């Protein structure tokens, strides 16, 4: 807020936002998606590309839906990796803006700022644990499907054959977490062991990559929402702080007016910096969100189709259910934060209106009115500039996916 040096964020029990975001940069460097400043791309990045290049069988309609399912997950994740690698300097710039508190370091010393940012970091930590565990459980279960399927199916089948993915295959033939095609027989050892480890490696790469990229976006947007909350409090408390800054009499009135002008100017700069920050995030991630929009729509209907055609409750069905829940949750969180940015940005106008502006001088009133006019066009994130990232758009995506799902069901009948 405006003025009043009390203590630093950490002294108030809080945590600076950059300390949380620095964790993502460190993890991305380890994966090779984020070169160290002044350095070259680490060799670890060379293992990422082949982790996404493998082939699938298209022998049946059900296999085709599984193929589309897997391709959607890997292509969306690979696109996020490419964007992070290409825009790593832009990501660093966004982190520096948070580090510098949008050019307003005096706010860091305010106890209310400390409270808001500390709550923001705590919520992000909770989301980090929840989303990482969901990804880990879902993808780990996909890796063990072949083993559980063989254990559960072995007792009810002849020694020569086992049932896997509603198909009868030779008992000595290898089975993998993902449908794949290889130019050689994959069941003899050591080929089967090597290929199975390759599939596990691909799954482990996803477990590492998906939470990393998603949570970095969540962190940026959630901190922007926290800064909008700080701005709301700053605007709503303009009059109270001005009254506390001046004594009685004409001299006190002049001091109060001068203090209020400084606070309004600070709020205007803060508001402008927040819009610039959200636009910076939007310019980087809007193509990713477009890809996410298309991929999620396909993933929703394909996974729901897999659940519909699988008449038995087995490990595969449970895993497909977990995948569907995780995919719906992921896109839902994206849209929730996008919707929250728009709502908090619009709320700046209401906060400015509640600032008791009618007690201010004409010049200060004009400054407050400019802030209110700016909030009429809120900051927002979009799907490739086509549609805003909002809960309304989220509902439309679910509706589109359900429509595709019903079409697939009819084609399969």
pTM: 0.79
pLDDT digits (tens, 9 = 90+) for 74-117: 788 888 878 877 887 888 888 888 777 766 655 656 677 778 88
Please identify which residue in the block is written with the tokens 């959200």: 278
Q: Range with the lowest mean pLDDT among 156-165, 249-258, 357-366?
A: 156-165
3-state secondary structure 56-82: CCCCCHHHHHHHHHHHHHHHHHHHHHH
Residue 7 has pLDDT above 60, yes or no: no
pLDDT digits (tens, 9 = 90+) for 199-242: 787 778 788 888 888 888 888 898 899 889 888 888 887 777 76
**Closest listed residue to residue 199, CA positions, set 175, 173, 178, 172:** 178
Q: Is the distance from CB of 363 to CB of 258 less than 8 angstroms?
A: no
Amino acid 109: pLDDT? 61
Amino acid 340: pLDDT? 92
**pLDDT grade, residue 342 (50/70/90)?**
very high
Please identify which residue in the block is written with the tokens 């909030």: 375
Sorted by where each begins, the domain ranges of the chain are 17-53+84-149+204-412
- Rounded Cα gap, residues 253 and 136, in angstroms: 61
Q: Looking at the DSSP assignment, which residues form a beta bridge with residue 352?
A: none
Q: Is 388 helix (H, G, I), strand (E, B) or coil?
A: strand
**Closest listed residue to residue 167, CA positions, set 62, 30, 238:** 62
The rounded percent of the chain whose pLDDT value lies above 70 is 67
Instruction: Share the mean pLDDT of the chain.
Output: 74
Which of 53-62, 316-325, 328-337 has the largest mean confidence?
Answer: 328-337
- Alpha carbon 344 to chain centroid, angstroms: 18
**pLDDT grade, residue 165 (50/70/90)?**
very low
Q: What is the mean pLDDT of residues 353-382?
A: 85
């Amino acid at each position: 807020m405006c003025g009043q040096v009390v203590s630093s964020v950490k002294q108030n029990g809080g945590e600076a936002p950059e300390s949380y975001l620095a964790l993502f940069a460190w993890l991305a460097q380890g994966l090779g998606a984020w070169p160290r400043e002044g350095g070259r791309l680490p060799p670890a990045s060379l293992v990422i590309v082949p982790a996404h290049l493998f082939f699938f069988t298209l022998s049946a309609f059900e296999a085709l839906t599984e193929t589309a399912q897997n391709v959607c997950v890997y292509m969306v994740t690979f696109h996020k990796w490419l964007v992070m690698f290409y825009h790593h300097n832009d990501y660093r710039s966004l982190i520096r803006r948070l580090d510098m508190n949008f050019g307003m370091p005096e706010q860091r010393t305010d106890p209310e700022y400390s409270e808001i940012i500390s709550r923001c970091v705590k919520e992000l930590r909770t989301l980090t644990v929840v989303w990482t565990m969901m990804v880990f459980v879902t993808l780990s279960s996909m890796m063990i499907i072949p083993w559980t399927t063989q254990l559960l199916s072995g007792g009810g089948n002849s020694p020569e054959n086992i049932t896997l993915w509603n198909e009868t295959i030779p008992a000595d033939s290898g089975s993998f977490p993902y449908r794949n095609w290889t130019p050689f027989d994959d069941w003899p050892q050591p080929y089967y062991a090597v290929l199975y480890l390759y599939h596990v490696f691909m799954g482990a790469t996803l477990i590492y990559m998906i939470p990393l990229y998603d949570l970095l976006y969540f962190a940026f947007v959630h901190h922007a929402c926290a800064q909008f909350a700080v701005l709301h409090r700053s605007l709503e408390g303009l009059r109270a702080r001005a009254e506390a800054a001046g004594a009685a009499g004409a001299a006190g009135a002049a001091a109060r007016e001068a203090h209020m002008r400084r606070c309004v100017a600070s709020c205007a700069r803060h508001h402008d910096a927040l819009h610039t920050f959200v636009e910076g995030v939007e310019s980087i991630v809007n193509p990713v969100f477009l890809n996410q929009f298309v991929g999620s729509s396909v993933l929703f209907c394909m996974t729901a189709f897999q659940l519909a055609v699988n008449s038995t409750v087995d490990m595969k069905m449970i895993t497909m259910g977990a995948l569907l829940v995780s995919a719906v949750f992921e896109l839902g969180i994206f849209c929730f934060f996008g919707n929250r940015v728009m709502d908090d940005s619009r709320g700046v106008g209401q906060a400015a209106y509640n600032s008791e502006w009618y007690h201010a001088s004409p010049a200060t009133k004009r400054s407050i009115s400019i802030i209110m006019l700016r909030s009429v066009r809120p900051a927002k994130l979009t799907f490739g500039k086509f549609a805003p990232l909002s809960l309304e758009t989220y509902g439309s995506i679910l509706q589109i996916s359900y429509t595709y799902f019903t079409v697939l069901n009819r084609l399969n009948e």
